[in-house]
Structure 1
Amino acid sequence: MALELFMVGLIVKDMGRAIEFYRRLGLAVPEGSEEQSHVEIKMGRDGFTFFLDSRPDRWDAQFAWEEQGEQSKGYRSVLEFYLKGQEAVEAKYAELVGFGYQGVREPYQTVFGMCFAIINDPDGNALLLSGDTGK
């Protein structure tokens, strides 16, 4: 049997801000999660889980926050959220930027028929919003 990805997790500095962002993105974050240090969100029917954790030192005693100097224009990882269509990508991007989140790249069409936009969550994690262009 091949190895399968079970969970994707992000380390966040402020759980309340992270929860607010991911709810605005459209995830079904359980009520009362703002007060937790670890929150799991089931994605789809297959049990795949997305988690946020604000206390990684509980399970990794050597964890230390890296203080970043000047912010890079690149990113080392990206989470993709599929929103079906170009209009949905444009609307979600505009909504999140309107709430003050950092837009990295405005919606654009790819050469392979998709619409992409990139936005950062409150901790600087890059999110790729994607949807079909219908072309």
Structure 2
Amino acid sequence: MTPRLDAIGLVVADMAASLAFYRLLGLDIPAAADNQPHVEAALPGGLRILWDTEETVRSFDPDWQPPRSSGRTGLCFVCASPAEVDATYAALTGAGYQGHLKPWNAVWGQRYATLLDPDGCEVSLFAAAT
């Protein structure tokens, strides 16, 4: 058997804060999940996204420490249009989340923007430029 990518895992300091951010990006996550130590959501195409609290990870890896930077890994969300990139960025920054790069027309032909989730993970929004 050849291994296949099945899930993307995030380790979070505050489960409720992280889930609130990703709900604003359209992920279907039940409100009851906010107090859970481990949460999963199915993504289109069968991939899953997983959240674990720092305490959960330390329960099986007692020496685990948060990385100093998550700048090498990010999540990317496709939007239906350049206007949706702008609106989503505005909604998230308006809700108090940290913008990193305001929407711009990238040289590779996309409307692009970057935010940081509550744990500092880079989250990109993009759509084909029109």
TM-score, normalisation: structure 2 = 0.89
Secondary structure of the 1:4 match is coil
Identity %: 34
Deviations 1:7-33 (A, max 9, x none): 101110000111111111211112300
Q: Distance in 2 between matches of 1:59 and 1:84?
A: 40
Residue matched to 1:48: 47
Correspondence 1:46-125 to 2 at 5 A? 46-54=45-53, 55-65=56-66, 68=68, 75-125=71-121
Aligned residues: 128
Residue matched to 1:130: 126
Unaligned 5+ runs, structure 1: none
How much has 1:102 moved relative to structure 2?
0.6
Q: Distance in 1 between matches of 2:8 and 2:61?
A: 16
Q: Distance in 2 between matches of 1:78 and 1:27?
A: 16
Deviations 1:26-63 (A, max 9, x none): 1111230001011001001x321011110211232331
Ranges of 4+ aligned residues in structure 1 off by more than 4 Å:
none
TM-score, normalisation: structure 1 = 0.86
Residue matched to 1:6: 6
RMSD, aligned α-carbons: 1.8
Greater helix fraction, Structure 1 or Structure 2: 2
